[in-house]
Amino acid sequence: RDFTINTIAVDILELFLPFNDDVLLIDPSGGFEDLQKGLIRPVTATSITDDPVRIVRGVRLKVLLDFEYHSSFLEQSKVNSEKLKESAVERIKEELIKILKIERSAEAFRDLDCLDAFVHIFPELSDLEKIPPSGLHQYNLKEHTFRTVEFLENYCLEKKEEILLEFSEEIGKQEFLPGFLDSHCLKLVALYHDVGKPLTVKEKDGKLTFYSHDKVGAEIAKKAFIRLGFGKKAVNFGFKVIRHHLRPFFLYNLFKKEQLSDRAIYRFFRDTEPYSFHTLFHSVADWMATSTEMEKGVDEFIGFIHFLLRFYRERLKDLKPLLSGKEIMEIKGFDKPNRCVGIIKKKMLELQAIGRIKTIEDAINFVRGYSCENPDKSRLDCNS
């Protein structure tokens, strides 16, 4: 067995003896005492050497049961943590999923980091600590990352109805793997959301910049999710949310400057579909983890999210193209479907969303005047 608390047994036949109230515990390793004391202790001096994945399992049990580590667990784990690189990824993934499903995942990640195991499970995140506080960021990047996971589970998931209103039901709705939901995967996304920063960091006028870290990070996270075996659905989910995780902040800055257009809002929801609400949800945790000042000002940011949700509810939720692909083909005189039909339909839907195309007649006039070969010279031939 791995830990003493898992070595306690009874003679099953004794359980069925009549009038037998004193069932004898078989406890060769002192597991009952450790259970009473709340200790995670390896059974032998080689328990973790024999199976390094027990490091991850021990951390999970400690957090789940609110126990403490016995000194022998700490010693064995630090000595053997590097061996996790040689362990079966499938077994590590199974333990990670169990960690992501508990309420204190961030505590488990912090413990894995203290045991020198975190970097061997998530090698892509090995340079986070090298990025110091800068700009709005009060903490180094590793601390910001852990805090993002903490706020996601301790604040956002507890207040999801307050944050996303009626759209909160979208969180926890999808199953990526058996028992592994999008709400669990959001924690993994939070862990990887800034993974692109160490590769894009530059200093400009005494400040650090991380241009395109969202794009770079999405690609790194995609490969990491594949390596860990989280499946295609989780891979696509992680890629999209990380790729667009900055956009709610860009929109908010435009909003404060009174420069936010309907087109920008529409394109956010279009580009992040079907994970728009997850992207907004993540942004709240990211916002709060940036600094204590931003944490205090989160209500204002959530108010902005409500503004975006109102736009979605009123303008986008039931939005459908006024013309079908077949009708567009007839208007343009196309004999068969082609790329241009899709381009026209996409552009038409955007103009509907921002109120420039309101009727079928408007849509027909737009299609007639649109040129896929030279879209910049296309005309919107309608009265709106």
| Full set of structural domains in the chain with CATH | 4-119 (1.10.3090.10), 133-316 (1.10.3210), 325-377 (no CATH)
Query: pLDDT value at position 367?
Result: 97
Q: Is the dihedral of CA 278, 284, 287, 291 positive or negative?
A: negative
Phi, psi of 10 (to 5 degrees): -135, 160
Note the pLDDT of residue 383.
41
Provide the CA 290 distance to its chain's centre, in angstroms: 17
Torsion 66-69-70-72 (CA) sign:
positive
Q: Pick from 113, 116, 52: which is nearest to 84 by CA?
A: 52
Q: What is the pLDDT of residue 376?
A: 60
Q: Angle at CA 32, nearest 5°, toward 57 and 19? A: 125
Place of tokens 């852990």: 146
As beta bridge partners, residue 202 has: 209
What is the predicted pLDDT for the residue at 381? Answer: 46
299-319 pLDDT, tens digit per residue, is 999 999 999 999 999 999 999
pLDDT digits (tens, 9 = 90+) for 55-82: 999 999 999 999 999 999 999 999 999 9
Which helix (H) or strand (E) segment is 193 a member of? none
Residues 226-247 have pLDDT tens digits of 999 999 999 999 999 999 999 9
Query: 318 exposed, middle or buried (CB, 10 Å; 0-12, 13-18, 19+)?
Result: exposed
Cβ(231)–Cβ(175) below 8 Å: no
Region 253-259: mean pLDDT is: 98
**Residue 269, pLDDT score:** 99
β-sheet bridge partners, residue 26:
9
Q: Among candidates 245, 194, 243, which has minimal Cα distance to 218?
A: 243
How confident is residue 149, by pLDDT bands cut at 50, 70 and 90?
Answer: very high
Tokens of 97: 């999923």
pLDDT band for position 22 (cuts 50, 70, 90): confident
- pLDDT value, residue 382: 45
For the chain, percent of residues with pLDDT exceeding 70? 95
| Angle at the Cα of 75 from the Cα atoms of 116 and 35, rounded to 5 degrees | 110
Whether the CB-CB separation of 101 and 182 falls below 8 Å is answered with no
Structure token pair of residue 89? 């990824």
The pLDDT of residue 23 is above 80: no
How much is the pLDDT for 1?
Answer: 80
Quote the tokens at residue 294.
């931003």
Interhelix angle 276-288/247-256, rounded to 10 degrees, is 70
Predicted confidence band of residue 48 (pLDDT cuts 50, 70, 90): very high
Crossing angle between the packed helical segments 182-192 and 141-151, to the nearest 10 degrees: 160
State the Cα angle at 212 between 206 and 214, rounded to 5°: 115
Whether the model pTM is above 0.85: yes
